[in-house]
Structure 1
């Protein structure tokens, strides 16, 4: 038929997007599949036009999850801070599809997906690593949360962590002796000096609250920009929040990068190459990762 040679894709339970890939390939190959089944002697009934329409509508429901999975599986960009905003966007998109879908099968799929999405990710905004990572990502901050209570709890958590890393104030001087008291009474600047001494003992929590609030009021970063470069420019403006950001923004969104390393290691250490030293395997793996990074950047 003058078309690219493609094979049908089989759904696999352990591959997250395999259902979407299977249906997409069936829909793309509907004409070759129909022609092939018509010329073969078998008892397989080809899909009808209504069934292909249902497949197309179901693909609209599954496509946002396909895009989210691909984006959260990246290795070269910050990903952990995207989880909570991504769930928010998926809920919004699925909710709209539930009300606009005319196809009964696609509407039922959207409803089931929305219900499962709410059940599976009900506690995601309460997870410390993901909630703080979202908050210190200047692209999202409080805007990335669905719940205002979860957003406020994340702000309080960030404030506590900032207060813990702020160095304690210097110890207050001992009370003046009777001789020093008499000297202070004769000191013209005694009142001003006492106020300065009081200000030195400022509360670390108050300093953390002020810094966190200044950061939250700073304009959001466009979603296409790199949050790590933002903190490279602002680490002196928000010194303590930047330390928290460097601690949490390295959180990966999924285990995909680790699984890729395991798969590559399985290709390297095989029944025919089982005498490699662990150090040699490690060097080969890191060499492959460096080559992949250079290729992706080019």
Structure 2
């Protein structure tokens, strides 16, 4: 929305006078000042490209690279953590199995190690080449997704993702396109409770206040006419 507004303010027509031009310039500068923080929010860029209605349409190359890096980093950590949890579950499930003790070869110089000595001395070391391959695969998936046509603006993006051929990217969608939390409903209840309690009604029981609040907020569902 901010990108659309700034682009619209940059458009000039022949019928504009100096006052209109000055007003547009002022609005343009104010928008850039007030919403400059958006470019620094690492969660907003991935949310933009994961929205199939917009993708990278309003992002420059640097912003696109930043968004892709953020998504790839999240998915890589997600997969690593999932593998760690699966490994923990597997260890727990076979805890009753006999333990096999391996002979320590940590005192062998590195240049004297055999292939299996190197394997035994570094059981948990991750192959950096495998990690880079994983990132390359994720980058290709994102680029393939971005190359597809944009979704219609009034389409349901969640239905689209449920049937999307990119199940890996759906993990990032759950993080970056989830509904933001809000405290508005609870604030409305507190406000209504403050209106019910008054100096002349300070003896109301909490149970009765709950009933009044429930009636006030749900009466409209029954099409009740006051």
Report if TM-score (shorter chain) is over 0.5.
yes
Contact 1:138-1:221 within 8 A present in 2 as well: yes
Partner of 1:266: 191
Deviation at 1:291, TM superposition (A): 6.5
Deviation at 1:137, TM superposition (A): 0.6
1:231 paired residue among 147, 161, 165: 161
Residue 103 to residue 232, structure 1, CA distance change in 2 (3 Å): same
Residue 281 to residue 217, structure 1, CA distance change in 2 (3 Å): farther
Q: Distance in 2 between matches of 1:239 and 1:92?
A: 34
Deviation at 1:115, TM superposition (A): 0.7
Q: Distance in 1 between matches of 2:205 and 2:61?
A: 54
C-alpha offsets along residues 5-50 of structure 1, whole Å, 9 cap, x if unaligned?
A: xxxxxxxxxxxxxxxxxxxxxxxxxxxxxxxxxxxxxxxxxxxxxx
Q: Distance in 1 between matches of 2:154 and 2:17?
A: 35
Q: Does 1:219 align with 2:149?
A: yes
Partner of 1:149: 62
Partner of 2:30: 116
Aligned counterparts, 1:162-201, within 5 A? 162-167=75-80, 175=115
Residue 268 to residue 123, structure 1, CA distance change in 2 (3 Å): same
Q: Does 1:248 align with 2:173?
A: no
Partner of 1:91: 6
Q: Distance in 2 between matches of 1:114 and 1:133?
A: 24
The unaligned stretches of length 5 or more in structure 1 are 1-85, 178-200
C-alpha offsets along residues 79-119 of structure 1, whole Å, 9 cap, x if unaligned?
A: xxxxxxx111000111125x556244433322211110111
Relative contact order higher in (CA < 8 Å, ≥ 6 apart): 2
Q: Distance in 1 between matches of 2:172 and 2:212?
A: 32
Contact 1:165-1:240 within 8 A present in 2 as well: no
- RMSD (Å) for aligned C-alpha atoms: 4.0
Q: Distance in 2 between matches of 1:225 and 1:282?
A: 40
Residue 89 to residue 282, structure 1, CA distance change in 2 (3 Å): farther
Partner of 1:129: 43
Q: Match of 1:269, SS?
A: helix
Deviation at 1:283, TM superposition (A): 11
Q: Which has the larger displacement, 149-158 or 204-213?
A: 204-213
Q: Distance in 1 between matches of 2:30 and 2:51?
A: 27
Contact 2:189-2:213 within 8 A present in 1 as well: no
Q: Number of aligned residue pairs: give it.
A: 177
C-alpha offsets along residues 198-249 of structure 1, whole Å, 9 cap, x if unaligned?
A: xxx6732233223222222232211110111111111xx2222101111111
The TM-score, its normalising length taken from structure 2, stands at 0.61
The unaligned stretches of length 5 or more in structure 2 are 88-113, 118-129
